[in-house]
Each structure stands twice: as C-alpha cells, then as structure tokens.
Amino acid sequence: MYRKEKPLPLKSSASSLTNNLTVFISPEKGSMSYAVVHKSVVNVISSSLDGSTVTNRQVVCKEPSAVQQNTPMAKWISLPNRTVLVLTSLRGIQMFESDGSAMIYWHALGDPSSSDTQDQTNYGRGIAGVGDSCICVGTQIGEIHVFNVPAKGTNILLKESLVGHKHPICDLTSGPNKLVSSDEQGNIFIWSLQANGSLKQTESVIGKGVPCSSLVLWNDIIVGGYGDGQLRVYCAKTAKLAATVNAHARWVNAIDVAPETGRILSVSEDTFAKVWQLKEGTLPEIEYKYSESVTDLQLVGGQFIQKGGRGFCVTGYDNSDITFFVQN
C-alpha cells in the first residue's frame, strides 16, 4: 500500500517525547516544513514540494534560566489568518513566526523563586488551535490556557484558563468550534466554543489510569492513542466508546488523521507505523489497512504529508532521519 522513500536528515536526533513531529504545508510558498525536538532545540527542515531544494534551521528554546531545559513539544498551528510555531517547555510557552525566525510571545509557567519544588515547574504539553484566533496549550497542573492571537503583530493575550482536569495534560486536538483534551489518567474532556467566544466543557470520558498520549478529531469522531498500545474510538457528541483496538505492543506515541479521507496513522515504541480507516455512523468504526516496521527504531512522531493520507512520515528516538512512506 505504501513504499519507503528517501529520508530527510536532521541536524540532531529526535528526543524521546510523544508527538515529536509536526508538519506545515504552505501551498502559497510551494513548500513543506517539518519540525522535530532535540532537547532544547527544534530542528526545522523546509523543502520544496518536489523535494529539489532543502533548507535547515534550528529554533532554540529561549529559557529565562541558566539551566537548559528540554522542550516537551513543538507544533505549528494554522489559524485562518496566521500560522504560528508554538513551543512548550518546563518554564513556559513560546510562540514564533511560522518560519521560526522571530519569537512573538512568551508566557511563563511556574515560579522559579518558589520554595516548593512543585510550584517551580509547570510544563506545557498539548497544543491546538480553536476558532478564528485562539491557541490552546495544556499544562502539568491540568489547566488549559487559551490565548487570543491577532492576524499580525505581537499583541497576544491570555484569554482564559480552562479548569477541569486534575492531572497533567497529555494532548489537545480540535475541530470546528470544538476542543478535545486528554490527561495522564486517560480522562478525555470535550469543550465547545460558545457564542461569546469562551469554551465550555460539554462531555467527558472517565479514564482507566492509562495515559491518553495522543488525540485526533475527525467529523465528530475522537481517536485516542494510549500507553497500553490501544486505540480507542469515541463519538464526540455523546462521548460513548465505539471501538477499542489492541493496535500496538507498546506505548502509542503519536496519531494523526488525514482530513479528506478519515485515515488514521498510529506510531509506537514497538517500531510499527500503522494506517487505519475510520467509518462514520451512529457508532463509528475503525478498520486496519497497513503496517510497516522501521527496524530497531522506537517511533516517537508520525504525520500525514497529504490531506488524503497518500503519504506519511515518521521519526524515531535517537535517530536523525525523517522517514517517508508514499502510497503505491
């Protein structure tokens, strides 16, 4: 179904983080960009759509501390009028222009001067865009910060903080007027965008103590990837469980969805990247389509590179390549 293509080399290897790959397609510039985290540096590779030209850039996480910290997550968020590269770390949230050339916003997390070590760190994890101008970022203490991002300039404001999770946020995903969040106990909360622009919790899924490390939302279908190797499919309107798949032998580190077709990509520490097909209905269904093992590589990131799911790429821990698979 898919064939392996020539990889793109990174300047440094991928860290062992969940969702450690983000892809930004820019049709107007005729380019595709890939970002992978290595410790406190984000490696950004941009290539033309035909692959003839490739450029590298490194975005350094600018910590207001002498101690260099890891970056738990990096992700491009495309709002209707602007695309922003968002980085989270143990000390705060940073937003950059889409090419990583300039930092446009910094939001501190935690209090380094506090005598309580738990107050000193409050890392950010889970990033998603909602509505026309909002970017949401999850935190270690379970709050979700909602930022209002203008079409241009640096006047980014913290709009509200959503309270509901009692455990550290693992991932966020979003759809039209909807936000979905997961945490380290496997709880999933569904938030709806209200007429006044605020987000209100409408449904929830009670977890079983296993982290839901990655989330996607497609046509009111939620798919979660879990630390026990399972994929679980839920109806976003009712939060009812529709299907459970023992998809992988080890931790699911990332999942992605092809928006035009409903194909799902899941990658795991068990070396496998697998492709599934979602089917809509009163109770959604999921069907196995394809799997490929990347030998001796714990996969930490995976993304489709085309909206129909005709190609995807993956990253692996301590490996300096982005590996590509294209449909036959």
Q: Which residue has the tokens 């003839």?
A: 52
With tokens 């097909």, the residue in question is 277
The pTM for the full model equals 0.94
Q: Transcribe 184-234 into DSSP letters.
A: TT--EEEEEE-TTS-EEEEEEE---SS-EEEEEEETTEEEEEETTSEEEEE
Mapped onto helix, strand or coil, the DSSP state of residue 140 is coil
pLDDT (tens digit, 9 = 90+) per residue, 95-130? 999 999 999 999 998 764 555 655 556 889 999 999
Contact (Cβ atoms closer than 8 angstroms) between residue 280 and residue 322 = no
pLDDT for res 32: 95
| Strand ranges inside 10-140, DSSP E | 22-26, 31-38, 41-48, 54-60, 73-79, 82-88, 92-97, 103-108, 124-130, 134-139
What is the pLDDT confidence band of residue 65, given thresholds at 50, 70 and 90? low
Q: What percent of the chain has pLDDT over 90?
A: 86
Checking if the pLDDT of 221 tops 50, the result is yes
Q: Residue range 51-68: average pLDDT?
A: 76
pLDDT at position 114, please?
59
pLDDT digit string, tens, across residues 160-215: 999 999 999 999 999 989 999 999 999 999 999 999 999 999 999 999 999 999 99
Q: Which residues are paired to 129 by β-bridges?
A: 135
Report the pLDDT averaged over residues 45-56. Answer: 89
- Of the ranges 64-68, 116-120, 137-141, 159-163, which one carries the lowest mean pLDDT score? 64-68
Cβ-based neighbours of 315, under 8 Å, separated by 6 or more: 14, 20, 21, 36, 299, 300, 301, 302, 321, 322, 323
CA terminus-to-terminus distance, the chain: 6
Looking at residues 137-159, what average pLDDT do you find? 96
**Are the C-beta atoms of residues 88 and 72 closer than 8 Å to each other?**
yes
Residue 91 has a pLDDT of 81
Give the chain's domains with CATH numbers.
2-110+121-327 (2.130.10.10)
Look over the chain and give the mean of its residue pLDDT values, rounded to a whole number.
93
**What pLDDT shows up at residue 31?**
92
pLDDT of the residue at 321: 97
When pLDDT is averaged across residues 86-99 and rounded to a whole number, the result is: 92
Res 66 pLDDT > 50: no
Least confident of 61-75, 167-181, 287-301: 61-75
- DSSP-derived secondary structure letter, 270: T
Coil, helix or strand at residue 297: coil
Helix or strand holding residue 119 (H, E): helix 117-120
